[in-house]
Amino acid sequence: MSSAWIFPGQGSQAVGMGQDLYDQFAAARAVFDEADAVLGLPLSRLCFEGPADQLTATENAQPALLTTSVALLAALGWSSDGPVDVLPAFVAGHSLGEYSALVASGAIPFAVALRLVRRRGELMAAATEGTMAAVIGLDMEPLRSACAEASELGPVVVANENAPGQLVISGAANAVSRAGELARAAGASRVLPLKVSAAFHSPLMTAAATGLREAIDIAPVEVARVPVVANVTAQPITHPDEIRAELVDQVTAPVRWIATIEYMAAAGVDRFVEIGPGTVLAGTVRRITPEATRVNIGKAGEVLAAGSGI
């Protein structure tokens, strides 16, 4: 059986996440303690105790989710310089989760990734233009056509290709509203406005991408020990130059999650292990490749149940 590790992105955070890991695993405790020291703020307490509105804030949610995912890896016995034969065939992450995947691959040290996602969160939080909406029950091409027609009102794109019939559009508020109307007319069962501060994964995030490039250009990046299937291209990357370009481009580009899972399945992966809070990604895998085995590891009990079988 060939496995891939997949890591969730923003939206999977929940108050209390990681508390059981901190209490039960010394290796996980060290990860949370390192995060507090690197960022100079009580991130672990925010994960464990909230309040929810502060944890949900983009600049906090992003490092909090990265830290929890890496703490889970540590609790499972992973280390960045551990034996290659215990690593998966591929890693991938949804949007922010790509940073967790890169840490897991050995391409970026945890402390470096932590600083980058904190900066990424700050830049994305500063972007207040536009909005997003989930579109349920419509195929990709009709939704792209709806966005193209609505773009006369402003930029609007399919931003998250999460699963068949589960897509997200992003862009200028009036254009997103019009694209939603056109999507309903084309057969979408629901169009749900999302509670976001800006139009993530759209051209309206160009300023955030430019700001993040400055931090990424000087960050140490190594050759990945495991191929990372990139959000932007849905193709594996390992070289530092590819990784740097991916982390900048993914801020404005769509998350091609359907194609990402399809690529790994076609390459022989038949077991997807979601490492992080929640079960969102396992749900997308069920819709994209229902024959694959799905495993969730987000709590201490699931770490113990998995043992070394990740």
* Omega prior to 51 cis, within 30 of 0: yes
Active-site residue flag, 201? yes
Q: Closest Cα to residue 308, out of 73, 92, 19?
A: 73
Active-site residue flag, 79? no
Q: Closest Cα to residue 269, out of 102, 85, 92?
A: 92
The residue assigned the tokens 């016995």 is 77
- Active-site residue identified among 3, 12, 44, 95: 95
Q: Which residues contact 170 (CB under 8 A, 6 or more apart)?
A: 130, 131, 132, 156, 157, 159, 160, 176, 199, 200, 201, 202, 204
Query: Which phi and psi angles does 205 have, rounded to 5°?
Result: -100, 15
DSSP string, 237-295: E-SHHHHHHHHHHTTTS-B-HHHHHHHHHHTTEEEEEEESSSSHHHHHHHHH-TTSEEE
Residue positions annotated with a catalytic role: 95, 201
